[in-house]
Structure 1
Amino acid sequence: MSNLRFNTISKVHDRKPLKHKSIKKRSAHFGEYVFSPNVMRQYVSEDILDEVVDAIYNKRKINGNAADLIALGMKEWAISKGVTHYSHWFQPLSGTTAEKHDGFLDLLENGMAIEQFQGSQLIQQEPEAASFPNVSSRSTFEARGYSAWDPSSPAFIYGSTLCIPTIFVSFNGEALDYKTPLLRSINILNEASVAVCKYFDKNVKHVKAQLGWEQEFYLIDRALFNSRPDLVLTGRTLVGQSAAKGHQINDNYFGTIPNRVMVFLKELEDECTLLGVPLKTRHNEAAPNQFEIAPIFEEANLSIDHNSLLMDVMDRISERHFFKVLFHEKPFDYLNGSGKHNNWSLSTDTGINLLKPGKTPMGNLQFLAFFINTIKAVNTYESLLRASITSASNDLRLGRDEAPPNIISVFIGEKLSKVLQQLEKVSKGKLSPDEKTDLKLNIIGRIPEILLDNTDRNRTSPFAFTGNKFEFRAVGSKTNCANPITVLNTIVANQLLEFKTEVDLLISKKDLPKDDAIFNVLRDYIKSSKHILYEGNSYSEHWVKEAKKRGLSHALNTPEALKAMLTQSHVALFEKYQVLNKVEVNARYTIELEDYIKRVQIEGRVLSELVFNHIIPSAINYQNVLLKNVEILKSIYNDDFILHGKSQLELIEAISKYIRLIKTETDIMVQARKKANVVDVLQNKAIMYCNSVRTMFENIRYNCDKLELIVDDNFWSLPKYRELLYTK
């Protein structure tokens, strides 16, 4: 390690760790900083609380008087906790969270200062929208945005600020955020699921999409992070030779968590406890300095809010421990990328997980209805699901080092596959008593037993059934979960409504009993959805060829994947259920493309800086030392110089060769970037950046990494992988 790097890191380690008052019993403090219904009940009447519940479940507006009383109670509670400001907290299309703080402090006409917070301030705020990714066709100076309270996600205190989860829309009412379409998709999924549940239980009134995410991340020393321009500006290492030891001997996964990391995680868990984020699991991941945390399942909207909040809290707390959290999907080449597995299920207000078989054949049939309809939805809209998880950073992860591939498929396990194969053989029309008995006893009645044994997980599958939920494993670690979950909710809702229409038609037109009609429709769905099911190795060339035969999409990069958003049938799907209108879909397509272009553009600029300000100067400085050494050897050995100086000359020549290649390839990349910058059509510009600019990165990196291997460590100015990944 060079003296520069060593001095940088030692300054950090000389500092005394912060003292943190640990929470001993988390349950006693859970949600202490959350204005939950139980807390609200202490500040408002039951009638007011009923209005909030009515607004959440029946989409009714809260009247002005009730809003004033809720705001008053919220303010009193917040001030009792030391809060001075409030903010509408939302999730714009930039991919981060956003907030504008306003103080409770106000002045009366007589100049007296008081704390005020009214219902109108609770319900709506007017943050300026022009600087956010904007769906509006209006001019920038006219781009007004509104944030509006989401009562289904409770307000919380962070620091000295009362944060109120909100949606964010334009002057014209178009969604400028991830939450608005998510809430719309949750509503339509609830309606569709309840309609199907009525076949099995008339008492079901509400169905919630449940989500449990698994957040993977890397944690590195902040001083070393700040010494790497590529990490600071892009979130990933654009150059860097792999350390001699990576994760090849599998000693990191579930290994002992380092003490320094454990202290950070403990404070994180304590903060999340107060904020009502129910963290449950923590462990080492496969790669060095890679970790995972996961919560208890929650209603999807709240779970997504909690994930966005968690990422912000992690970043802030890591600073106090002199760490930097890396959420990038592929911060280190040659090592596992980071995902955010989205475990999705459906639960009723009667306490039933619809993706978990019941103890009776009727419960099994209900499970099969939702299980098979979800598979059918993924089969129909696999390209749209692929588009929902695409990004410049996730492109680097998918298909590499245990990450799922670019082809969407569904894994359900060998035993459930056999159940579907048996159901496929159900005869069309009215079933005989013997057939019903055979179905219910020999097939459906065995599902609970099958699921107990069916615990295998295909780590290469992007969308897998894992016992009582579907796990969407292709979602990237820094992605806002709302985007893929909005798509998943919408396509499943659409499929359930189509299913109900077909079943009702068979009951009314064919005079079939309800169960027979359900079996008939499910059988047809199994036949038409078989090509999305795959149990094998999704990395294999065989699967790539097989998927092509089956007609599955295979988008290798973001510009290709995003095309699915504009497919007429996909736009019509979103418009049909008012999840997104055509303007909003087109805007999101444009925003995603622009984001891709800008990120690759920034990476190209940073790579040029690394080459000319770090890599080549480091190599030349070392080469000069070698040249001086050659001169000394030549003066000593004269005619025998070649014998004694051959190795040095070979090193000098190798360094010259790599410098020449790096310089040439970087110049080509810069010229390609300049050509791409003048392209007017956004899609063409993104394709040029993908095919002409980013493709050069790998060649440049290869030669830079070769130089790293032969240049004296004392001359290499960038912290190396072994330092980034093994500094405790």
Structure 2
Amino acid sequence: MTNVPELFASNVFNQKVMQELLPKETFKALKRTLDEGIPLELEIANQVAHAMKEWAISKGATHYTHWFQPLTGITAEKHDSFISPAQDGGVIMEFSGKELVKGEPDASSFPSGGKRSTFEARGYTVWDPTAYAFVKDHSLCIPTAFCSYTGEALDKKTPLLRSMETLNEQALRILKLFGSKARHVTTTMGPEQEYFLIDEKLWNQRKDLRMTGRTLFGAKPSKGQEMDDQYFAAIKPRIVKYMEELNEELWKLGILSKTEHNEVAPAQHEMAPVFTTSNLAADQNQLTMEIMKKVARRHGMVCLLHEKPFAGVNGSGKHNNWSIATDEGENLFAPGKTPQENAQFLLFLTAVLKAVDENQDLLRICVASAGNDHRLGANEAPPAIVSIYLGDELEAVLKSIKDGTPYDSKSKSKMSIGVDVLPPIPKDSTDRNRTSPFAFTGNRFEFRSVGSALSISGPNTTLNSILAYALKEYADELEKAVDFEKELQNLIKREITAHWRIVFDGNGYDEAWITEAEKRGLLNLKTLPDAMEQYLKPKNVRLYTEMGIYTEPEMESHYDIKLEKYCGILNIEVETMLEMIYKDILPASFSYMRAVGETAANVKNLLPDAKCRAECDILKKLDGLTDELAKKAEELSSTHIRIKKRSGIMEIAQGYAREVIPAMAEARAVADEIEPLLGENYKPFPSYEDLLFKI
């Protein structure tokens, strides 16, 4: 039996461990750095480094690494041992404050959008003391930011920290107007992580899964998710053992793994942690994805984090539950019990409406990826069109404010703002809308568009930034108010009216919504290239630069990196698809056709009057389909070659989206028609039935 309280965070150098191991004054100095952002003196850093090293060695560590999050979307590590030579020919174990605070990895080999050349290789990793160090795989891992020699952020952590700070600054301005004594506002996150588990032996037989993370071919199995018998069903024994080990590994690292269950699709599952601060949540989610994959291999399985590994069943998302709270424990997205608290809640809610409406493009951009483009808009994933779902009750409240009409709740109380009597807004009175990209769920917003493989740092940087920008405009206006309560009421009514188009509580999959959204002036950015065309528009550059989140050169590099990655992924997928057609599918088809032909010939030999209609029908179908597949493969190859010759990265990306992906779909459709016609022993690779149900 696992002793969870004793196990939890046993491999984390957290405040409890620091307090035990550090001298009292050293701990106080470090605490001031954590709480107030005061720079850490080298002498203090040396003492922290020594204690950290001794603790890590006691946990079996021999090396240390600055653990950072480059723009690849995954984590990076460069390991150095603690050993230093001693005069007697032996070694001693050393680790200095300088080594703790700063590292110097090569920066040219990471994505930089052309901002770092090979001859400009210097980059720095800088310790983030707000995120705890931990021991993993016999190494002390020190969470760090990553920047270039010239100061540009080359990672996902730095902008997230900037966005948290700027949101803190603007939110405090608003709270001060309401008489709040809060000293700090923190964004919190709870990312629900969806994933698939399949048998490793079957995975090894699928080149597409090995090379791209998703199936490029696969006929629909006779049973999928239509019986709704997978969701929350009893977990299979093999999966239970996996989840047990996964929980233990996560708990050791202080990750609050709370919920686990079967998801809707066969072989799909979900893990959800308890909320924590956005910075820590982002670090922990990166660790979670890494550990999910490692633990799966120990159980003879592979964890798939691709957003759409299988066509025709649910894809995998990472529902980004986002909220903001004060250091006094007040959730700013939770309705209050007094008129003043509800007026404050409504102002923050209105700011979210404004932020989302004015920055639909940025929200779509921050979740855009080659994988997520396949997921959005079907099988319980939200559409590419951004809208907000508030629930019947809260939507009715805002509508009454917008229209200037009384609001009748179930208790028949009338609601207004400011000095008038404002009854409590019911909590958790909203239904759930699984087709909504951005839904209010009682005391937080659930950003459902985030893909399962994506780092949550980018989406949360965007959410924090756009809300901070809206709050800044409100604070600039209300700080000049002569009659605060009156001008507050006017502002809330004006802003709800101005941004009402973003509110939608209907079916996001309905074709009528696409037409309605267009009438409302909402964006429908279906692909990553479509979204990235919006990124460097003046209003986006102004928002990010004025709020101190990104510099313009950093944004330009993100533009290039996103498009280059998109094109790189599609290039791999096309090459893999063609290889599978020519090396697997067509040869398997020919082998089966030969066997069927030989069977027919043998039957005719023995029974000259035999018609052999079944054999002839199969041969005729396969002959036509193999000819069609070869033709589609040739068309795909020539289209791909032509698109790759285009000059600009955006032109190439648009070519992939508009011409190559449709050509891939056409080739797949023919291949998937061939698969059910082949005999079981002639299958070129494991089928969907094998992958989804043999676990």
Aligned to 1:594: 564
> Equivalent residue of 1:350, what SS?
coil
Q: Is the 8 A contact 1:136 1:174 kept in 2?
A: no
- CA offset digits 1:211-251 (Å, max 9, x no partner): 00100000001111111000000000000111111100100
Aligned with residue 69 of structure 2, among 91, 95, 103: 91
Aligned to 2:671: 704
| 1:260 equivalenced with 2:238 (yes/no) | yes
Aligned to 1:539: 509
Cα distance in 1 for residues equivalent to 2:446 and 2:404: 29
Within 5 Å, give how 1:633-652 maps onto structure 2: 633-638=603-608, 640-641=609-610, 644-652=611-619
| 1:727 equivalenced with 2:688 (yes/no) | no
Q: Is the 8 A contact 1:135 1:175 kept in 2?
A: no
Aligned with residue 220 of structure 2, among 242, 248, 266: 242
* Alpha-carbon distance, 1:635 to partner: 2.3
Cα distance in 2 for residues equivalent to 1:305 and 1:151: 13
> Equivalent residue of 1:502, what SS?
helix
Amino acid at match of 1:710: L
> Equivalent residue of 2:78, what SS?
strand
> Equivalent residue of 1:548, what SS?
helix
**TM-score, normalisation: structure 2:** 0.97
Aligned to 2:436: 461
Q: Is the 8 A contact 1:230 1:236 kept in 2?
A: yes
* Alpha-carbon distance, 1:629 to partner: 1.5
Aligned to 2:31: 53
Aligned to 1:173: 151
Amino acid at match of 1:70: V
- CA offset digits 1:509-541 (Å, max 9, x no partner): xx31x2222211111110111000001111111
Aligned to 1:473: 448
Aligned to 1:675: 642
Aligned to 1:407: 385
* Alpha-carbon distance, 1:200 to partner: 2.6
> Equivalent residue of 2:623, what SS?
helix
- CA offset digits 1:324-378 (Å, max 9, x no partner): 0000000000110000000000010001111112222222122111111111110
Aligned to 1:525: 495
Aligned to 1:8: none
Aligned to 1:569: 539
**TM-score, normalisation: structure 1:** 0.92
* Alpha-carbon distance, 1:130 to partner: 1.7
> Equivalent residue of 1:102, what SS?
strand
| 1:629 equivalenced with 2:596 (yes/no) | no
Aligned with residue 616 of structure 1, among 560, 578, 586: 586
Change (3 A) 1:479 1:438: closer
Change (3 A) 1:80 1:195: same
- CA offset digits 1:97-137 (Å, max 9, x no partner): 11011100111345341000000100011111222102453
Within 5 Å, give how 1:147-296 maps onto structure 2: 147-296=125-274
- CA offset digits 1:120-165 (Å, max 9, x no partner): 1000111112221024534313221111100000001112111000
| 1:311 equivalenced with 2:282 (yes/no) | no
Cα distance in 1 for residues equivalent to 2:333 and 2:659: 45
* Alpha-carbon distance, 1:573 to partner: 0.9
Q: Is the 8 A contact 2:220 2:688 kept in 1?
A: yes
> Equivalent residue of 1:453, what SS?
coil
Cα distance in 2 for residues equivalent to 1:552 and 1:504: 31
Cα distance in 2 for residues equivalent to 1:436 and 1:669: 63
Cα distance in 2 for residues equivalent to 1:565 and 1:241: 37
Q: Is the 8 A contact 2:428 2:441 kept in 1?
A: no
> Equivalent residue of 2:493, what SS?
helix
Change (3 A) 1:194 1:678: same
Cα distance in 1 for residues equivalent to 2:104 and 2:86: 23
Aligned to 1:713: 680
Structure 2 gaps of 5+ residues are 406-412
* Alpha-carbon distance, 1:252 to partner: 0.4
* Alpha-carbon distance, 1:697 to partner: 1.2
- CA offset digits 1:18-45 (Å, max 9, x no partner): xxxx52x312321111110111112223
* Alpha-carbon distance, 1:628 to partner: 0.7
Aligned to 1:7: none
* Alpha-carbon distance, 1:49 to partner: 2.6
Cα distance in 2 for residues equivalent to 1:443 and 1:177: 48
Aligned with residue 500 of structure 1, among 450, 475, 487: 475
Cα distance in 1 for residues equivalent to 2:293 and 2:252: 17
| 1:486 equivalenced with 2:464 (yes/no) | no
* Alpha-carbon distance, 1:633 to partner: 2.5
Cα distance in 1 for residues equivalent to 2:108 and 2:519: 46
Aligned with residue 144 of structure 1, among 116, 122, 145: 122
* Alpha-carbon distance, 1:417 to partner: 0.9
Cα distance in 1 for residues equivalent to 2:377 and 2:239: 29
Change (3 A) 1:526 1:147: same
* Alpha-carbon distance, 1:677 to partner: 1.8
* Alpha-carbon distance, 1:631 to partner: 1.3
- CA offset digits 1:535-588 (Å, max 9, x no partner): 111111111011111111111111101122111110111111211001100101
Cα distance in 1 for residues equivalent to 2:601 and 2:214: 41
Q: State the superposition RMSD in angstroms.
A: 1.6
Aligned with residue 686 of structure 1, among 626, 629, 653: 653
* Alpha-carbon distance, 1:199 to partner: 2.3
Cα distance in 1 for residues equivalent to 2:261 and 2:474: 41
> Equivalent residue of 2:119, what SS?
helix
> Equivalent residue of 2:302, what SS?
strand
Aligned to 1:349: 327
Cα distance in 2 for residues equivalent to 1:591 and 1:443: 53
- CA offset digits 1:491-522 (Å, max 9, x no partner): 000111111111123x2xxx31x222221111
| 1:549 equivalenced with 2:503 (yes/no) | no
Q: Is the 8 A contact 1:136 1:170 kept in 2?
A: no
> Equivalent residue of 1:217, what SS?
strand
Greater mean deviation of Cα atoms: 461-470 or 538-547: 538-547
Q: Is the 8 A contact 1:241 1:720 kept in 2?
A: yes
Within 5 Å, give how 1:67-78 maps onto structure 2: 67-78=45-56
Q: Is the 8 A contact 1:422 1:443 kept in 2?
A: no
Amino acid at match of 1:265: M
Change (3 A) 1:203 1:441: closer
Q: Is the 8 A contact 2:333 2:348 kept in 1?
A: yes
Cα distance in 2 for residues equivalent to 1:669 and 1:543: 33
Cα distance in 2 for residues equivalent to 1:652 and 1:438: 75
**Identity across the alignment (%):** 38
Q: Is the 8 A contact 1:135 1:176 kept in 2?
A: no
* Alpha-carbon distance, 1:634 to partner: 2.4
> Equivalent residue of 1:445, what SS?
coil
Change (3 A) 1:444 1:670: farther
Q: Is the 8 A contact 1:31 1:273 kept in 2?
A: yes
Q: Is the 8 A contact 1:426 1:519 kept in 2?
A: no
Amino acid at match of 2:683: W
Cα distance in 2 for residues equivalent to 1:591 and 1:572: 20
Structure in which a larger fraction of residues adopt helix: 1
Q: Is the 8 A contact 2:65 2:142 kept in 1?
A: yes
Cα distance in 1 for residues equivalent to 2:546 and 2:502: 25
Amino acid at match of 2:166: I
> Equivalent residue of 1:218, what SS?
strand
Structure 1 gaps of 5+ residues are 1-21, 428-434
Equivalent pairs, count = 688
> Equivalent residue of 1:251, what SS?
coil
Aligned with residue 127 of structure 1, among 96, 99, 105: 105
